[in-house]
Chains A and B, each alone.
Chain A
């Protein structure tokens, strides 16, 4: 029996820039939710966000939501899931938001294998605050706080997540909506902590459409085995978030089943 499609749009004025990568991400998610709604009722979804351009997504999508603090969506989500394990809890967070301000929470959510999904709008910049460098900005990125380039190299969030114990680790690209939709669906269906780093071009501060269109390739089209941790780790290291001349794998890097925090707590 087909479930009646609910409108997922709240009607709030959308204030993202034209062609912002957040649009692709939002439509991939909406698409995934509609497909999942065949088995998961709409009211069982709870979405959360941090603070940044990415955060606005919870104002636009008409699902239960918690517009959290900068960097703090993940512990809030953990609390929601613990209080009501029937809910599907998904965090939309920014790269500044979760790789800087809230990194400890991300690492611990992975360590706990709490059954939530974290989707990072990784535009590799602080956009809402008008363009500072972020933890995954390349070292040549000239942001407002680093006008001569950054004295730091970027971090590799996939490697961090794998070594922290995440049981589902993926990377998507907001420009490939259908591919991203499938990753998001798998992530939500995964039992345990699922993590998706989404390459999200920011047309205002770091337009990376050309780079990702040119350099990304899909893991499913290779012989990659997502159950193999070592392979997943070496795939994660293929691109260091700095170079523009290497291929960037997207897809599901790693997936394994382990008891969740909610089952063990």
Chain B
């Protein structure tokens, strides 16, 4: 049992809210659900829609063709004709006309306000879900009496088309990737989150700012991204765990200080939520085209870690891991996400658990040297305020105490120290269980290789078409030996990515990994399941 539903309307009409409420109801009934939110970068007007798919099986993608289309305005009817099948059930605004469509009163609480209550009413009735299932959500809204009467009127205005039954008594958890990243960071010991607003990373800022007191953290929104990252480095230097969040343009501004984090060996986590570029690009749409930028950003040679979660559960886990890794190795860690991961709603099972690993700390004996040469390249940490020592960090090349040097031997010595650290990181990371994930049909000789938020759609398609899926979660240090081992006996390898120039395939080729074909999507939209399936079937 599964259905794909599109709800369309004007920006500001509460379409996203309607999608969120419906996802809540259907997850309460025990179903798996995935919601892709498609909205332009504006506040009023324009066209918004949510694409919702739910199923009794685990799913994490939407289809391009909908079983139900709810068009709350005339424009939505025209916009979604292309998404309809012959048997699609259409529900349109009572003021509009379309052959065979059900007409319903999509009322707003006040002129120009959300229509979400009426949408929910119509949808639940259509699916044969009892009115009571949606009521608690309606009653939690502001102006609840007004919303309730709109909801009831809408519910009673249409007839049942489907009969969706309760699957189980256990309600599924819903989470966006951004919420998962926020919670993962907190459970990894985050003390202070610093960010300048930029879609699609802003929801992390909003979530943490709203809940900072309960979560026991501080949140700062400074004057620009350059300030953001330098502030975060100050925080880490003083011994508190910091994290920043941004998208490509903001990260571009941060790159000088990214390199400082590498040179000064100051732990830092950067969440980079990709959107369609280049430049301002398509702010509210998705892409995977900051991949090479994130891997290579920053001047000079320094080690870094880049992690790429594929869904909300991995986002939680890797965000928590990112905090610990940054402090374990005293390096910048990039958490590379995108709009699809960050803003989509997932049914996710997350067992929240605080996990704050103790970093390598100074033992308190003798003189303190911030950049002491050690076997593994990692120098013990101490923080300013510690009696009888001085903690000196610097952007210049330096000696073990942190004093500027330019002497050839000393310069090389510190470069070698950082190389040593890079090796330590590499040895540790590539052996991590999660460095690569093997999914789909693991026995198959036909392989899809992909990364990031393509996880859900690729895995579903692979299961139906009999492909094996290889997906690295650690992109730097790159687990190329393990990938090579997995494709050794493959007869066919297909890449799947959201980048016009095929950045992921270029990354693979840097390590001598070749693919037979590369399926690329770069219109700002995620791969839809039916679309990807037919593309895969061509090979």
Contact = CB atoms under 8 A, between A and B. Distances in A.
A265 interface: yes
B260 A46 contact: no
Contact of B403 (A12, A79, A87): A12
B191 interface: yes
Contacts of B240: 83-84
A50 to B, nearest CB: 10
Contact of B224 (A64, A66, A80, A104): A104
A66 B390 contact: no
B234 to A, nearest CB: 3
A216 to B, nearest CB: 33
B25 interface: no
B385 A43 contact: yes
B438 interface: no
A75 B226 contact: yes
Interface residues of B, number: 45
Given A65-B393, A265-B218, A83 B234 contact: yes
Interface in B296-350: none
Contacts of B404: 12, 56, 59, 67
A80 B390 contact: no
B227 A80 contact: no
Contact of B387 (A41, A56, A82): A41
Contacts of A107: 223
Nearest to A56: B404
A86 B384 CA distance: 10
A75 B242 CA distance: 14
A66 B393 contact: yes
B466 interface: no
A43 B403 contact: no
B230 A69 contact: yes
Contact of A64 (B226, B236, B390, B403): B390
Given A66-B234, A84-B239, A108 B385 contact: no
Contacts of A56: 404
B231 interface: yes
A44 B385 contact: yes
B230 A79 contact: yes
Contacts of A12: 403-404
Contacts of B264: 66
B402 A65 contact: yes
Contacts of B192: 79, 82-83
B191 A83 contact: yes
B395 A87 contact: no
A248 interface: no
Contacts of B396: 67
Contact of A58 (B191, B220, B233, B392): B392
Contacts of B130: none
A209 B301 CA distance: 43
A43 B386 CA distance: 6
Contacts of B385: 43-44, 64, 84, 86-87
B238 interface: yes
A72 B401 CA distance: 22
A41 B390 CA distance: 12
B384 A68 contact: no
B119 to A, nearest CB: 39
Given A44-B385, A69-B260, A84-B240, A76 B395 contact: no
B230 A46 contact: no
Given A46-B384, A75-B222, A75-B230, A65 B392 contact: yes
Contact of A87 (B220, B224, B238, B257): B238
Interface in B127-155: none
A63 B224 CA distance: 29
B211 to A, nearest CB: 16
Nearest to A265: B218
Given A66-B394, A83-B234, A84-B384, 16 more contacts: A43-B384, A46-B384, A64-B392, A65-B392, A65-B393, A72-B230, A76-B230, A76-B233, A78-B222, A79-B231, A82-B192, A82-B231, A105-B223, A107-B223, A108-B223, A108-B227
7 contacts: A64-B391, A67-B392, A68-B230, A69-B257, A78-B222, A80-B234, A84-B384
